[in-house]
Every structure is written in structure tokens, then in C-alpha cells.
Homo-oligomer: A and B are copies of this chain.
């Protein structure tokens, strides 16, 4: 019996990178959070502290900044692929890389009805995300989004569930349905118009949320994934994590008032949590694409 290192990776997390495109006086602005992690021949550093193979995380950070200067960043999917590939191509002990990028949205400040050339405001808390996994010559791209908070004020029911001795929930044919979408989808290849796909997939998921008459958040989850796969042959599978952000109807009968689904208490915790994968039945799974990501 021996004690050995199993899977491992190391890198720099949450490099905050802001890039200004000054090609013209109408500036562009990009705001990214970049995390890189390397996989490879790192047994020695674990066993003895020999760092011969360990490109410093500080260097990884510098590389992210340098890459943002040396060529246009482009879509975060491409930026992550380039960055990860660089480490594999230039460091012999590095066999694989995981690169995570989040993009934070900004919009131009309106001045006199027009967007200003070089003044911006943050456009919400939602982030576009990508997790790129490189393993030798293989590349996986898992794009996504997070913090997309949505709510339907009607068109949601919940009934017909089993009741046991601990069940007190009342059935309902009209409730608020609200969630904060975290979605990740795996592309089948890398020859994709990333920005176009992202925009359409986000819009598709939003439409599916809005237009599905929901009998369960699970059903809404499936419809969100299904509609993406139906329209986007470039996507292999969609993983969704949907907290059921409960809005409880306030009981106003003690005050002699009715409350016809009008006034709600928005609860923080606990929350339902619905997680699942919607997938094509004819694609190969890709465990490596998801390894060390939260599974849903």
C-alpha cells in the first residue's frame, strides 16, 4: 500500500482584466475575470517541493495580461482556447489546461440620447462564462451564463405530488416561479461563431422560461435545455442549475384582507434546487470537459 497523488491542477484564479480598445476615439471596453489551471507532470513538486516543472501562477497571470495586449481578445471562448494552448505548447510538462473566463457586461452611458464614446456603466450582474478544457490536442468548450434572475408572475402550477407524514405544502394552480439561471452548454467543436451562438442560446432559454406553462421547475429546466439543443446543432448537452427562489404568498386573512396572488415574501433560504443535464442521445459523453467543474 502506498499513498500517492491523484488528479491535481494548479493555477491563478480570478485575474481581473480590463481592456480598452482605443483603435478609434469610440473606445471599446472588455471586463473579464480569468482563471487558468495547468495539469501535467507535477508529482515532484508534491512529493519533494521540486519546482522544475511548475510555471509560477504569477507567470500565468502575466500571460493573460500579455495575451490581451498582443492580439484582440475576441470572444472569450477563443481567448481561453489560445491561452490554454499556449501553456501546453510552451511548457513540456504541461499536458492539459483548464481556463475559466467570465465576462462582465458594460453599456455606454447615454448622453443627449446617444451612447458616449468613452463613458460606460455596468450593465447588470449577469456574467457570460466559459470553461475550456485542453487535454493534449483535444479541446472542449463549455460556455455558459450565470446570475440570470428570472420570474414569472403566473403560468406556473405545482400539484399532483406524493404526500407523506411530513408534507404540509398546499397544491397550487397559480404561483410565482423564479430562479437564478446558471447554465453551461458543451459545444461539439470549436468552429463556432461564439458570440452569435451565445446570444441566440441566451435568448432561447429566456423565451423557453417565459413561454413554458410550468407544472414543475424540472419541466421548465428540460424545456430550456431542449429548445437550445433543437435550434443549435453545435451544442451537445446543456447543464442547468436552477434554485427555486421561493416567493411565498403573504397570508392576510388575520388582517381581514384577501391576497389574490398579489403580495409575496421573497425568501432567501432555504430554496429548492433543481439540477439536470439535457443531452442528445447520440453524442459521446465528455467527462474531461466537466472534470473539476461543479457537475451541474
Contacts and interface: CB of A to CB of B under 8 A. Distances in A.
Given A45-B219, A270-B61, A161 B214 contact: no
Contacts of A15: 265, 269-270
A173 interface: no
Contacts of A55: 161-162, 164, 167
B66 A252 contact: yes
Interface of A is mostly: mixed
Interface in A1-42: 1-22, 27, 29, 31, 35, 37, 42
Nearest to A32: B266
Interface string A52-94: 1111111101110110111000000000000000000011000
A197 interface: no
A268 interface: yes
Nearest to A227: B3
B255 A42 contact: no
Contacts of A280: 1-4
Given A6-B237, A29-B153, A62-B255, 17 more contacts: A4-B278, A6-B277, A9-B296, A10-B273, A12-B270, A12-B272, A17-B264, A20-B154, A22-B262, A45-B215, A52-B161, A57-B272, A109-B210, A112-B207, A119-B153, A121-B151, A292-B295
